[in-house]
Chain A
Amino acid sequence: MYRIRDIEEKNRAFEEVAFRYMNPLYSAALRMTGDKSEAQDLVQDSYLRAYRFFDRFKRGTNFRAWLFKILRNVYINKYYKELKAPQTLEISNIEESVDLVTTATPENEIFSSLLDDEVTNAVEALPEEFRIVIVLSDLEGLSYKEIAETLDCPMGTVMSRLHRGRKLLRKSLYEYAKERGYVKD
């Protein structure tokens, strides 16, 4: 049983190291769930779980990666039900499907013509294993080592998913642009 002073000290220590990641965690949660209210619940649940296991956090290791790992686990266990039914998309097939396209319109111009919603939709439509590495790397600025810690996988897997995920995203943004008539053939 904790004494009041112990609890107060734990709260203070936890807030000091954990609260600075509220915005990055919320941003990532938003990209993972695609829903503001679910993202808030996910962050709240993750903080509660992190607080509960704060004593088990190894001092000197990366707290940010530890927090993101908790966010990711809570998301999978509680929010991402579909993950239990594996996605049918074969990773090996993706490589072939994302041969990059050449058009008269430079791709960087195509990108800037896209609307925020179109970019959001393209990211949210990515298979989960690709979306998470892109969110953590490109949006939250985690290093490959931190992402590997977060996802409990080798760095090589992080690199391969990032490489493939970005190709897939590029392809899907191009398709959006083509549908909207932003691309000149």
Chain B
Amino acid sequence: MVCREVCDCLCFYLDEELDSGKAGEVEMHLRFCPACKREMEIQIALKRLLQRRLGSVAAPDSLWRNVRFELGRAEEYRESGIQALDLILWGTHIAQFYNTKDDVPEILVPYIEKGLEDNELCLWITSEMSEGDARDALSAHVPSLQKYVDRRQLQFFSYKDWYLSEGRFDLQKTLDGASRKYQEALSNGYSGFRVTGEASWLELPDWDSFMEYESILNNFVSSYKALVVCVYKEGKCTTDNIVDVMDRHKYVISKMDDSWQLRRSAEI
């Protein structure tokens, strides 16, 4: 073995990952080559430096406690289908801010798809993205979409039918509708209720009333087997509007530099 070959495999030799034949050749070379021996000493020093300075760190007590606590309620966790969120607890209320209509399904399609897979009653309240758009987007990922629609595990409503009475937001009607659907989910044997509602139709005169609804919903879902994603068009919101929304949801997902970013309400 020449020096170059030895140097190329020295680090594997030190990691005890060379087969015995090759390791023997390296050892033989090191016995007679001070330059390679010195190189080995440097590599050992580097390895020791890392182990000494950055070696195993004890997990803090709080981590042990938190892991035990969360595992104790692991059965309450659901697959969100949303990559940035991963597993979430029943009762999680999330806001999604979008820029263009094409952004909407990137979050909602996997979210609804997972709910259907996991035997949840799923509700999609549409606005800028129509029911037809939502169906098209979903059908590319859920081949048996029609089956879910036929057995009413997946239901679509337009924002007009779900939120409005005589052209204005109707808080009581919306809450009653949500409560009715939740009961429907449980009495039909679904494991829970997953909903998304798009609010791009929302105009200033209805804003305060809608925020009151969001506050009530925030309390309502926390104790139920329900997940909610509320969808807002970022371009239609003022800074104050965005703060209002952030105050009323546990997580906020928004798109920055072409990737979805997640923030917890505590960080906001």
Contact = CB atoms under 8 A, between A and B. Distances in A.
Contacts of B43: 166
A102 B74 CA distance: 55
A104 interface: no
Given A40-B66, A119-B53, A85 B259 contact: yes
B70 A48 contact: yes
Given A44-B67, A48-B71, A163-B11, A24 B56 contact: yes
Contacts, number: 128
Judged by DSSP, the binding face of A is helix
B58 to A, nearest CB: 6
A77 interface: yes
Contacts of B262: 78
A27 B59 CA distance: 7
A75 B210 CA distance: 36
Contacts of A163: 8, 11-12
A116 B75 CA distance: 41
Contacts of B87: 45, 48-49, 52
A15 to B, nearest CB: 8
Nearest to B74: A51
Interface residues of B, number: 43
Closest 3 CB pairs of A and B: A108-B45, A26-B59, A119-B53
Interface of B: 8, 11-12, 15, 17, 41-43, 45-47, 49-51, 53-60, 62-64, 66-67, 70-72, 74-75, 77, 83-87, 257-259, 261-262
25 contacts: A7-B75, A22-B59, A24-B56, A26-B58, A27-B54, A40-B59, A43-B59, A44-B63, A45-B87, A48-B87, A78-B84, A85-B259, A119-B54, A120-B54, A134-B50, A138-B50, A138-B51, A139-B56, A143-B17, A163-B8, A166-B43, A169-B46, A170-B42, A170-B46, A173-B46
